[in-house]
Amino acid sequence: MATVARQHAQRRRIAGRNPLTAPLVLFAAATLTAAAYVAYVLWPRWPDGPASLNAPSIPVIVAGVTFNIEPAAIRMAVQRRPGTQERVDLAYLWPSLTPPDPANRPTVGAPVDPNERLFITIASGDDTLPLMERVQTIYPRYLVAEPAAGPDGLTLRGFRDDTPYRGEELVFEGAAPEHFLARCSKKGVVNSGECLLERRIGKADITFRFPRDWLADWKTVAAGIDKLTKRLHPN
């Protein structure tokens, strides 16, 4: 009797199954497979090799932030490729903000004129505090007591000679230091000085390097840096 009861129960379970279950499962599996194939085909993939110098721009990701960069502006050939990189080094002609002509390569007899180029480095900022935090928490202990007036609304605040920043000074817009603030080396016997100005986007630091002499027209420099920053990172 127990055997007969088990056989009747098994027949009821089989009879109770939905005859459409198997076809639906097969259809769902086929749909998922097709969707995965389409996603694989359509998903954007970047070439492994270096980008052409005449390409308008390529997406370069640094510290999780995407930048649109003209390959001709990238100084290192190994960095001239799309995708994720630890850092990227750039150069733009000044004041046109256009990439240098690849055909005009510097030589020993005709080196690059630093007054004609704005150099840029984009790298991760994980290991450093944002610039304004450094200005508020670190730099004050190294600065001289009294600031000095600079050209056309700029303020100069030098570092003491007994500090790691000897020979440098902060140069900032008095009314809005968060807009224009650079750390500049002073002019010496064999050099004319240079300035470093930083901008942070997400976790990426953009460092602009330019000659100290450009401070005489710093408003044009600030406007050019703003324009180039928006071009590199439109969002």
Place of tokens 């052409």: 52
H-run or E-run covering 223: helix 218-232
Residue 217: pLDDT band by 50, 70, 90 thresholds? very high
* Confidence at residue 88, expressed as pLDDT on a 0 to 100 scale: 98
- The CA distance from 232 to 142, in Å, is 34
* Confidence at residue 41, expressed as pLDDT on a 0 to 100 scale: 38
- The CA distance from 87 to 73, in Å, is 14
Average pLDDT over residues 17-33: 59
End-to-end CA distance of the chain: 77
Pair of tokens at residue 88: 């990227």
How far is residue 204 CA from its own chain's centroid? 5
Q: For residue 44, how many other CB atoms are within 10 A of its CB?
A: 6
* Confidence at residue 107, expressed as pLDDT on a 0 to 100 scale: 77
* Confidence at residue 114, expressed as pLDDT on a 0 to 100 scale: 76
- The CA distance from 176 to 152, in Å, is 13
Place of tokens 């990238």: 74
pLDDT surpasses 70 at 192: yes
pLDDT surpasses 80 at 30: no
Q: What is the pLDDT of residues 107-119, one digit of tens each?
A: 777 777 878 999 9
Strands (E), the chain: 58-62, 65-69, 83-84, 87-93, 117-124, 148-149, 154-158, 168-173, 181-185, 194-201, 204-211
> Nearest Cα to 78, choosing from 70, 68, 69, 88?
88
pLDDT surpasses 60 at 8: no
* Confidence at residue 14, expressed as pLDDT on a 0 to 100 scale: 47
| 9, burial (CB in 10 Å: exposed 0-12, middle 13-18, buried 19+) | exposed
* Confidence at residue 24, expressed as pLDDT on a 0 to 100 scale: 58
Q: DSSP assignment, residue 160?
A: P
Asked whether the beta carbons of 232 and 225 are under 8 A apart, the reply is no
